[in-house]
Structure 1
Amino acid sequence: MFIFPVIFLASFIIALKEIVKGNKQGFLLFLIFGLSIYTTAMSVSFLFGLKDIIPFFQFFKEILVLTILLVNIYTLKTRPKFYLIDYLILAFLAYAIIYAILPIGEQNLHDRLVALKSMAFYMMLYFAGRLFDIRNIYVNKYFNFIALVTIAAGIVVFFEVLFNINLQNISGYADYVYYFFNFEPSGNYGLSWTFESEGGYRRFASFFDNPLEHAAATLIGISVIIALYTRDNNKFKPNETGLLAIGASLLSITFAFSRAPFVSYFFIIYFYAIITHKKQITQTIHYCIAAACCYVIYIFIGWSNKVDGLMEVIMNTIDFSNPSSVGHLLAWVEGITALIQHPLGLGLGASGRVAGSLGESIGGENQFLIIGVQAGIIELSLYLAIYIAFIKLGLKWFRILKGKERKICLAVLLIKIGFLLPMFTSEIESSSYISYMNWFLSGLFIATIMQHERENTLAHGY
């Protein structure tokens, strides 16, 4: 078990050493290997009695992010040309900072600053990636590392399922979360209700924070794997590692047992098939959907008390009769009501992780509402504008870019598409690995666009 804090610490030291040596892309080592096991590394450290040094470990990610950002700014050779999306993100950050500084809402300054970090710090990762020179990044290398993390997650899940136990049951997870975040253990497995589904099914998190983060990380994994092995002519050519990673991702998304990410996993594949004109895949998916719909109709018509187990979970999800679905609906209604009554927001910490730790969260089941409830309709509009802009840019530049630039574009586009549905049912940006990876790659994508436009300008002598 001690291997997790060792990997976390080693990835931080190696990444920092590489940055000091001038190899800034070494930052990705920590982003990929350190943050993916972050919570497990912290909980194992707590298990071994290292609780006094855990607060220092917890700040490693912020230290490294700020370091790479400052290094990127310091090493700039020319003043960067800003894109529209840069201004939107700067506006989002500035607006959030204003809400943190001013005494808006019921939370004190400390809680508002913690909420600010949860709601907006990931945007710093955007600028960390945005200021990278894309020519100096070995995209295939680091995308392969993400594929390896996906394989490792699948292997851990395999043994979790085999022995019917969560890694978190033996990593000290429950004690760590209670000590540092005031969340008491709950559910039938001594962790939290997040680790089980209706019907008593275990949900497995592998070495991630919880099954929701595991599922979201799998969406990143499959998006990157697809981008890595897609040629410029749209042919998909995975090698043995790629096929193993795809299999591991399917294992992970199945046993994470998270409904929105599960649907998104196959929607990513479907969307990819559409934009790359893979008619065989789209037709197969259409046939599967048609067969599934026919089967669901058959079950509804012949509904009886004999239908139980997994099918009961599926049916109750469809007709919104299970507690989880009802809980999402109630949280959405509560959040929308608060947003209508307070269009400028209730202040940072009124929703999301900070409010959840105090048992006072409003609309805390929806990423969009979490932002809107705290900072109002203006901040929510900025977030939506940023997100929509990335999808539009991804669709536009996917047809233009080539090589590694195209891989980055496709990965970001698929991640954004894949996260849409889960964002309605969870605070997806609260996970460091998920949000940091998402927004760092987003920054690299815009850096790619700007580099391409500069090269075109020089080529035409403008």
Structure 2
Amino acid sequence: MIEYVLFIFVLLGFVPLLYLTLQAMVFKGKWEYVVYFLLAYLPFHITALSIVYQATYSGLLVSFFQVAKDFLVILAFLLFILYHKNIFQYPFRLTKVDKLFSVFIGLAFVYMLLPLGEATLISKVLYFKNMLIPAMVYFLGRNTNFDDKEITNVFRIIFTIAIAAFIFNIVENMLDTHLQSYTGYALFLQGINQIETTGNFGLQWTFETQAVTKRFASFFADPLELASSVLMGFSAGLIWYLTTKREYSFFYIVVMFCSMGSLIFSSSRAAFASFFIMIFFIAMVFKLYKLILFGFSAAVLFLVYILFFASEEFYFFVVDTITFQNASSVGHLVEWLIGVDSMIESPLGIGLAMSGNLGSVTDELRVGGENQFLIYGVQLGIIGLSLYILMLYFAISHSIRVFRDAENVMTARVAFVGATVKFGMLLPLFTANAEMYNYVSWISWWMVGYAMNHYSKRKIIDGKG
């Protein structure tokens, strides 16, 4: 019975959201509103698919929900062209990020066509599609012109997601069970992705720690995606707190608290480290030296706790993680070495769909896969890896420049969150195929694109991108 109740809730949320988005995009010419759909739906994507499959056992219906997000992004791209009748006279002012992103996707397209690697053409096409869609989201952000109210709505959804995720975490903790135990997550993995369940809780190893304690994911796909995604909630809450009068800022403290709470429930070591790295980055941007002192003090207190007060089990868990003796850390190290070895043997890459954890990559062919940089390096070679690194560097640096120079506070807020999230995600990119975390990846690329729109308009750095 519960599966049908959950299915009805999915329909009540998804159908109106899809209808309103299509209505605004097609009939009102608001193709930019696709970002609202992505914000509201992507955090629930895998949970929605699991519930749909659990209730219907229909692969066709699951596919409809699965491709809806991609369809809307492609539709928004087509509507952008349609609503600009003189599209060939559109004044493109290319920034370094635009050029690097274009060359990166162009390289991936060439590798999709080349008879390189053992993956099938269908697998290559699907993998390329998963690289192209974020690029299109960036392009849409690059050409989005929102007023202050529309940008405020973007942040309202981000805040709502951050608070809701924490509430679900609390409920999971109180019931001592994962939400995924009720949504048909394991059934979905077996029936659609042909992945057998692992771990002690009938889900996947990522839902538990080495000490066999639960790691919660709220309504996200897994704890690692939750941990990465809350960086966006915290960053958004912080910038609104810092740019709002103190008498109206309490709500943003709540958002930051909820984000930190979800980070704790996810028990992700990489995300914990990323959080502190992001704090130091924000402190340097704002020149908030007290925040740097706070972060340093917190790190020292954590070290003192580990050395003198923590349980023996937790102490050795941390030590084994740092020294790469922990099973998970060893697994990362092995995958990195495999990826590096592949790049040494094939510096020009071994082809698309040959590395990573996307559905189109088969286990039999997979080379490495737990480092986003090496995943691209293995497939696209040193050139592809270099392009990706440069793309991230200029995305962060140019967005910070927009934040500092923008006269409009909403534009500055978007640029700030885009830059800090991309910076905060650097460490998770070393330990996971983090670009597949659609919510944080796509939305942060949209934000970077939005910032680059204003970067080119203001002709920052002598009018050159």
Q: Deviations over 1:54-80 (max 9, x none)?
A: 111111111100111122233346332
**Deviates most, 11-20 or 156-165:** 11-20
1:198 correspondence with 2:210: yes
Query: 2:252: which partner in 1?
Result: 242
CA separation in 2, counterparts of 1:31 and 1:158? 25
Instruction: Tell me the amino acid that sits aligned with residue 81 of structure 2.
Output: I
Query: 1:460: which partner in 2?
Result: none
1:391 correspondence with 2:396: yes
1:274 correspondence with 2:278: no
CA separation in 2, counterparts of 1:138 and 1:237? 23
Query: 1:289: which partner in 2?
Result: 299
Partner of 2:405: helix, strand, or coil? coil
Query: 1:130: which partner in 2?
Result: 142
Q: Structure 1 residues 326 and 356 mapped into 2: Cα distance closer, same or farther (>3 Å)?
A: farther
1:19 correspondence with 2:25: yes
1:405 is matched with which residue: 388, 407, 411?
411
1:176 correspondence with 2:188: yes
Instruction: Tell me the amino acid that sits aligned with residue 217 of structure 2.
Output: A
Q: Deviations over 1:248-273 (max 9, x none)?
A: 11111001111111111232223212
1:100 is matched with which residue: 112, 115, 128?
112
Deviation (angstroms), 1:295: 4.4
Query: 1:70: which partner in 2?
Result: 78
Instruction: Tell me the amino acid that sits aligned with residue 260 of structure 2.
Output: L
User: Do the aligned residues in 1 keep the contact of 2:162 with 2:233 (CA within 8 Å)?
Assistant: yes
1:42 correspondence with 2:49: yes
Query: 2:3: which partner in 1?
Result: none
1:253 correspondence with 2:242: no
Query: 1:449: which partner in 2?
Result: 455
Q: Structure 1 residues 332 and 90 mapped into 2: Cα distance closer, same or farther (>3 Å)?
A: same
Deviation (angstroms), 1:214: 0.7
Q: Structure 1 residues 236 and 359 mapped into 2: Cα distance closer, same or farther (>3 Å)?
A: farther
User: Do the aligned residues in 2 keep the contact of 1:185 with 1:191 (CA within 8 Å)?
Assistant: yes
Instruction: Tell me the amino acid that sits aligned with residue 65 of structure 1.
Output: V
**Deviates most, 62-71 or 283-292:** 283-292
Deviation (angstroms), 1:431: 2.3
User: Do the aligned residues in 2 keep the contact of 1:350 with 1:360 (CA within 8 Å)?
Assistant: yes
Q: Deviations over 1:363-416 (max 9, x none)?
A: 200000111111111111111111011122133333211311111111111111
1:45-444 alignment runs, 5 A limit: 45-49=52-56, 51=58, 52-76=60-84, 78-135=90-147, 138-231=150-243, 239-297=249-307, 307-308=312-313, 310-352=314-356, 353-354=358-359, 357-402=362-407, 403-444=409-450
CA separation in 2, counterparts of 1:5 and 1:325? 40
Normalising to structure 1: TM-score of the pair? 0.91
User: Do the aligned residues in 1 keep the contact of 2:29 with 2:79 (CA within 8 Å)?
Assistant: no
User: Do the aligned residues in 1 keep the contact of 2:216 with 2:265 (CA within 8 Å)?
Assistant: yes
User: Do the aligned residues in 1 keep the contact of 2:38 with 2:439 (CA within 8 Å)?
Assistant: yes
**Deviates most, 356-365 or 256-265:** 356-365
Partner of 1:138: helix, strand, or coil? helix
CA separation in 1, counterparts of 2:53 and 2:351? 33
Partner of 1:9: helix, strand, or coil? helix
User: Do the aligned residues in 2 keep the contact of 1:25 with 1:137 (CA within 8 Å)?
Assistant: no
Instruction: Tell me the amino acid that sits aligned with residue 242 of structure 2.
Output: T
Q: Deviations over 1:93-146 (max 9, x none)?
A: 111011112221001100111221233431111111112124477212211210
Q: Deviations over 1:230-288 (max 9, x none)?
A: 329xx877634322211211111001111111111232223212221223222122222
**Deviates most, 166-175 or 50-59:** 50-59
CA separation in 2, counterparts of 1:315 and 1:335? 25
**Deviates most, 158-167 or 74-83:** 74-83
User: Do the aligned residues in 2 keep the contact of 1:150 with 1:245 (CA within 8 Å)?
Assistant: yes
Instruction: Tell me the amino acid that sits aligned with residue 152 of structure 2.
Output: N
Instruction: Tell me the amino acid that sits aligned with residue 286 of structure 2.
Output: T
User: Do the aligned residues in 2 keep the contact of 1:355 with 1:361 (CA within 8 Å)?
Assistant: no
Equivalences, count:
448
Unaligned runs of 5+ in 2: 1-5
Instruction: Tell me the amino acid that sits aligned with residue 411 of structure 2.
Output: E
Normalising to structure 2: TM-score of the pair? 0.91
**Deviates most, 47-56 or 31-40:** 47-56
Partner of 1:170: helix, strand, or coil? helix
The alignment-based identity, stated in percent, is 31
User: Do the aligned residues in 2 keep the contact of 1:119 with 1:430 (CA within 8 Å)?
Assistant: no
User: Do the aligned residues in 2 keep the contact of 1:328 with 1:365 (CA within 8 Å)?
Assistant: yes
Q: Deviations over 1:292-347 (max 9, x none)?
A: 33444558xxx9xx712x33322221222110000001110110000110011111
Q: Structure 1 residues 68 and 120 mapped into 2: Cα distance closer, same or farther (>3 Å)?
A: closer
Unaligned runs of 5+ in 1: 458-462
Q: Give the aligned CA root-mean-square deviation in angstroms.
A: 2.2
Instruction: Tell me the amino acid that sits aligned with residue 272 of structure 2.
Output: F
Instruction: Tell me the amino acid that sits aligned with residue 430 of structure 1.
Output: M
Q: Structure 1 residues 326 and 438 mapped into 2: Cα distance closer, same or farther (>3 Å)?
A: same
**Deviates most, 65-74 or 104-113:** 65-74
Instruction: Tell me the amino acid that sits aligned with residue 132 of structure 1.
Output: T
